[in-house]
Amino acid sequence: MEAKSKWRWGVNRWILLACIILGIFGAKYFPPIQPHIQVAPENLTSQPLFTLPVIGSFYLTNTMLAVFIAYILVLLLGFKIKKDLEKGDLIPKGITGAIEMLVEALYNMTESTAGKWAGTIFPYFMTIFLVVLTANWMELIPGVDSIGRLEESAHGYPLLPLIPGAVAAIVKGTGDAVKEGGYMVTPYLRAAATDLNFTAALALISVTMTQVIGLRAQGIGYFSKFFNTRTLWTKPFFGAMDLLVSLLELISEFSKILSFAFRLFGNVFAGSVLLFLVGAMVPVFAQSFIVLFEVFIGLIQAVVFGMLTMIFMAMATKGHGEHEEEHAA
């Protein structure tokens, strides 16, 4: 009979203890500065990448760089899964097995909602989910929003040499900003969804492709959803009501862009501000709970954005007549 093993800390207890000691030491001797919070992303280049005649100049921003890295990570993940599946293992292991279960669950959900159009809709659902999830979780990587270039500021902080070639902005004395001038950090990377340009671009892609899929499914009759005059002359009163409802449907399509963009932007930006403030005020233990909370927030926002896209696309493939038949059945 085997003896029951008791619960033990294991070797990881020393890693946890070392992190706690370093956190206390760092908070005491290298207190964090008050964060600089702004909505607009920071430019990483002094010169624009290119300039368009009407739109204007385009700069490389820290959120744009974060988006590129998120794309690369998603592509590398897909390449790894492809290589693992080509090996022919019946039961994939590790991250490949986890992604396979996730894809299967989300595809079954899409199939139950969209039916025969699941194969067309699912790639948009899964791609948006993975990109948004990766971009959101990048916010939790050490160095994002905290490592960057130093810029002079009227309300900045003094510098402390760490190692040759590396310096840090620190609090001096009571923690007030240096009145005669100092430095602030412009991060090289910033959470992509804290830039309204990124969330608005995703919203435009989602709503535009919803119209494309609806047009493919229903043909030219799909536009009667937004301008319904079928019964305007035969039944004037009810025809006018149908026309008014269709115009409201048209307005709702534009409102989806605002809803998509500001929901994701607001939640992720608020999470970033919360991490900044808690890290500056209580830098030792409390921030760990906020980080764990942001893990779930990033996951939930990715699921919500992708699932709403899938539902709207599935609804676009069905005409009003099909909805009435399903309700009667």
Tens-place pLDDT, residues 310-328: 999 999 888 655 544 444 4
Q: Given this model, what pLDDT does residue 30 score? A: 67
Q: Which whole number is the average pLDDT over 99-124?
A: 91
Q: Given this model, what pLDDT does residue 3 score? A: 52
Considering the domain architecture, whether residues 77 and 180 belong to the same structural domain is answered as no
Domain of residue 178 covers: 148-187
Q: Given this model, what pLDDT does residue 283 score? A: 63
Considering the domain architecture, whether residues 121 and 210 belong to the same structural domain is answered as yes
Q: Given this model, what pLDDT does residue 128 score? A: 94
- Burial degree of 232 (CB within 10 A; 0-12, 13-18, 19+): middle
For residue 232, pLDDT over 60 is answered with yes
Considering the domain architecture, whether residues 251 and 314 belong to the same structural domain is answered as yes
Q: Are the C-beta atoms of 260 and 199 separated by less than 8 Å?
A: yes
Whether residue 54 lies inside any domain: the answer is no
Q: Residue 56: beta bridge partners?
A: 52
How far, in Å, CA of 290 to CA of 314, rounded? Answer: 36
Considering the domain architecture, whether residues 199 and 107 belong to the same structural domain is answered as yes
Select the highest-mean-pLDDT range: 24-38, 172-186, 217-231.
Answer: 217-231
Whether residue 4 lies inside any domain: the answer is no
Which of 70-74, 141-145, 268-272 is least confident? 141-145
For residue 198, pLDDT over 90 is answered with yes
Considering the domain architecture, whether residues 255 and 287 belong to the same structural domain is answered as yes
Q: Which whole number is the average pLDDT over 5-22?
A: 65
For residue 309, pLDDT over 90 is answered with yes
Q: Given this model, what pLDDT does residue 72 score? A: 94
Considering the domain architecture, whether residues 276 and 292 belong to the same structural domain is answered as yes
Q: Given this model, what pLDDT does residue 175 score? A: 47
Which of 5-19, 235-249, 269-283 is least confident? 5-19
Whether residue 106 lies inside any domain: the answer is yes
Final residue before a domain boundary, out of 136, 160, 187: 187
Split at pLDDT 50, 70, 90, the class of 87 is: confident
Final residue before a domain boundary, out of 129, 162, 187: 187
Whether residue 29 lies inside any domain: the answer is no
Considering the domain architecture, whether residues 320 and 175 belong to the same structural domain is answered as no
Split at pLDDT 50, 70, 90, the class of 210 is: very high
Q: Are the C-beta atoms of 183 and 149 separated by less than 8 Å?
A: no
Whether residue 14 lies inside any domain: the answer is no
Geometric angle at alpha carbon 236, from 235 and 240, rounded to 5°: 115
Q: What separation in angstroms does the CA of 272 have from each of 39, 48, 51, 266, 303? A: 11, 27, 31, 10, 19
Q: Given this model, what pLDDT does residue 327 score? A: 41
Split at pLDDT 50, 70, 90, the class of 302 is: very high
The secondary structure of 80-101, three-state, reads HHHHHHHCCCCCCCHHHHHHHH
Considering the domain architecture, whether residues 180 and 295 belong to the same structural domain is answered as no
Final residue before a domain boundary, out of 126, 160, 187: 187
Considering the domain architecture, whether residues 173 and 206 belong to the same structural domain is answered as no
Q: Given this model, what pLDDT does residue 319 score? A: 67
Whether residue 56 lies inside any domain: the answer is no
Whether residue 291 lies inside any domain: the answer is yes
Q: If phi over 0 gives left and psi between -120 and 50 gives alpha, with beta otherwise, what is residue 179?
A: alpha
For residue 179, pLDDT over 60 is answered with no
Mean pLDDT of the chain: 80
- Tokens representing residue 265 in the block: 């932007």
How far, in Å, CA of 297 to CA of 63, rounded? Answer: 19
Whether residue 65 lies inside any domain: the answer is yes
Q: Given this model, what pLDDT does residue 58 score? A: 83
Considering the domain architecture, whether residues 176 and 248 belong to the same structural domain is answered as no
- Tokens representing residue 33 in the block: 């500065």
pTM: 0.81
Considering the domain architecture, whether residues 162 and 244 belong to the same structural domain is answered as no
List pLDDT tens digits, range 242-280: 778 778 888 888 899 999 999 999 999 998 888 887 777
Q: Whole-angstrom distance between the N-terminal and C-terminal Cα of the chain?
A: 61
Number of structural domains found in the chain: 2
Split at pLDDT 50, 70, 90, the class of 142 is: confident
Considering the domain architecture, whether residues 133 and 262 belong to the same structural domain is answered as yes
For residue 171, pLDDT over 80 is answered with no
